[in-house]
Amino acid sequence: MHRIAFDRRGFLGAAVASLVPLCARARSAEGWVVPEEFLPRPVLFAEPQEVGAIIVDPDYFALYHATTPLSGMQYSVGVGRGNLYQSGVFTVGAKREWPSWTPTKAMIARDPDRYARYAKGMPGGPDNPLGSRALYLFDDQGRDTYLRIHGTPEPWTIGTAVSNGCVRLVNDHIEQLYDEVELGAPVVLLPRESA
């Protein structure tokens, strides 16, 4: 198991250094404009992090990827709604481009009108709920948890608690992160402090 020291109050040691060279007018999902405050940006950490680690802070709708012990990138995310968000320590056990998607049995039970028609799965593509890329989170026993860090065909949901438990990014941003993350990378989904 990977252990990552993390203290919300001391995590960000400096303000945003500068914006990544992504245009604020970058378009996703049929012309939706990604607001400038949701663009990826470099950050400095107040305490060392494991290089390659991913840390998700659901209270700030932020995902941090450590590229050095004291610096990394911040991405804006959407997270699980209500009690569907699951905190914990995980590992990236698989990566997929244009992944297929099958709702879990729990999702179908919660909302059969919406999900039952996909019980046999949905192929990857622009309308797939997992978007263009997905990182599959495994537990410390090497089992798939069915939690994902993935893209979305609904980028306007970034910055909200809306998903069935997974962490979602704008497709352009998950593609950037996907290329930087290695299999076996540690992932920490911090607990919620706010209800």
Q: How far apart (Å, rounded) are the C-alpha atoms in residues 105 and 180? A: 32
Active-site residue, selected from the candidate residues 2, 23, 65, 150: 150
Q: How far apart (Å, rounded) are the C-alpha atoms in residues 162 and 58? A: 11
Residue 9 burial (CB < 10 Å; 0-12/13-18/19+)?
exposed
The answer to whether the beta carbons of residues 63 and 74 sit under 8 Å apart is yes
Active-site residue, selected from the candidate residues 2, 23, 65, 166: 166
Nearest to 71 by CA among 39, 91, 48: 48
The answer to whether the beta carbons of residues 49 and 69 sit under 8 Å apart is yes
Q: In this structure, what DSSP letter does residue 170 have?
A: -
Alpha helix (H) ranges present in 87-154? 105-110, 112-115
Bridge partners of residue 137, in order along the sequence: 92, 147
Q: Is residue 23 annotated as part of the catalytic site, yes or no? A: no
The answer to whether the beta carbons of residues 82 and 164 sit under 8 Å apart is no
The answer to whether the beta carbons of residues 65 and 54 sit under 8 Å apart is yes
Q: Is residue 65 annotated as part of the catalytic site, yes or no? A: no
Catalytic residue IDs: 150, 166
